[in-house]
Structure 1
C-alpha cells in the first residue's frame, strides 16, 4: 500500500514539474505564416492575441527562397532598416527562443517586404512565478535557434532550479506524511 502511494506521489511530482517547464511554441502569423501580409497590421493583430513569456519559442514559417527573418533594434524596426540586424535566419522553419523579458523586433530583409507589413514587435514577460532576469527597459540579447527546440532546454536554468526545489520540498513533505 505504501509503495503505491509513493509511486503515485513521485508520478504527480514529475508530471507537475514537466508541466511547469513547458514552453509554448507560437507559429508567427498562425496559418498564414511569415510572408507579406494581407494588411499592414496583420502581425500586430496576431501578436495582440498572445501573451509571450520567457522560454517561449517563435516559429517563423516562410518560403526560404523569398523571405527571411531578422531581429533588429526598435529604431531599425520603425524605419524598416535592414542594414544592421543582430541576426538573420534564412532557413524555414526558423525557431527563435525568447530567453529574456523585454521588447523584441523582427522584420523580413527582402526589399519592400517590411514596408508592406512583414514585421513583428512583441513584448516578452517573465512567467508569473518566475524571478525577473533583466531590469525594465534593458534590451534582450539576440537569441536565435534553428531546427527543433526542446521545451525543457528553453526554460531558464534559475527558474527550472527554483521549481525543482519547490517540487522536491513538496515531495519530501508528502513522503514524511506517508511514513509517520
Structure 2
C-alpha cells in the first residue's frame, strides 16, 4: 500500500510541477471586439465603450481580435493617429466586408480606429495592451519595484520575480510530497 501511495505521490508531483512551469498549449483566445455590440459607433454618452471593453480583457501574444462591422473599416494606427483620429498614415487598413481578424503577434500597445472620422471622434476607437506570458508573472518595474527612497527606508526580503515564485511553489510541493512519501 505504501509503495502504491509513493508511486501516486511521485506521479502527482511530476504532473503539478509540469503544470506550474509550462504554459497551456492552445490557450490562445480570439476576442470579439465589443462583444455582442461588435465594432460600431458607440451610442450617446458611451464614448468610453471600447476603453471599458478593453479593461475587462487581458490580451496575450498569440491571441487575436475579431472585428465584426458593417459599412465601416478598421485601421491600425500609431498612438498619434489614435488620439487625433488621423487616418492619413495607417499601419494597416482592413475593410474586407464585415469580418476582420487581427493577430496579436508582439507585445506592446496597439491602436485601432474606425475608418470613418466621425465614428472615431464619437468613440469608435480601441487601444489594447498586448502582454507576453512573461509579462503577467513579472509586472513592469514601475509597478513592481517601489522607488529607491522607499527601499532605503525599509528593505523587503520578498522578490517580485516570477521565476522565484515558480521555484518557491515547486519547492513547497516537493516538500509536501516528500513528507507524504516518508509518512508511515
TM-score above 0.5, yes or no? yes
- Classify the TM-score, shorter chain: 0.5 to 0.7
Show the counterpart of 1:38: 43
* Structure 1: gaps (5+ residues): 136-161
Q: Distance in 1 between matches of 2:172 and 2:91?
A: 44
| 3-state SS of 2:118 partner | coil
Show the counterpart of 2:119: 113
Show the counterpart of 2:158: none
- Following superposition, the deviation at residue 112 of structure 1 comes to 3.5
Show the counterpart of 2:73: 68
Deviations 1:17-69, CA, capped at 9 Å, x for gaps: 34599556543212211112213512223334x26455373523313x52332
- Following superposition, the deviation at residue 78 of structure 1 comes to 2.0
- Following superposition, the deviation at residue 131 of structure 1 comes to 6.6
Q: Summarize the alignment of residues 88-107 of structure 1 with structure 2, pairs less than 5 Å apart.
A: 88-91=93-96, 92-97=99-104, 99-101=106-108, 103-107=109-113
Deviations 1:116-170, CA, capped at 9 Å, x for gaps: 321113445631x23759x9xxxxxxxxxxxxxxxxxxxxxxxxxx69x859x65
TM superposition score normalised by structure 1: 0.58
Q: Distance in 1 between matches of 2:95 and 2:167?
A: 41
Q: Distance in 1 between matches of 2:107 and 2:80?
A: 20
Aligned length: 151
C-alpha contact (below 8 Å) 2:74/2:94 kept by paired residues: yes
* Structure 2: gaps (5+ residues): 143-162
Show the counterpart of 2:145: none
Root-mean-square deviation (CA, aligned residues, Å) is 4.3
TM superposition score normalised by structure 2: 0.57
Deviations 1:87-131, CA, capped at 9 Å, x for gaps: 223452413416324x4321022453323321113445631x237
**Higher RCO by CA contacts (8 Å cutoff, separation 6 or greater):** 1
C-alpha contact (below 8 Å) 1:59/1:95 kept by paired residues: yes
If you compute each CA radius of gyration, which structure gives the higher value, 1 or 2? 2
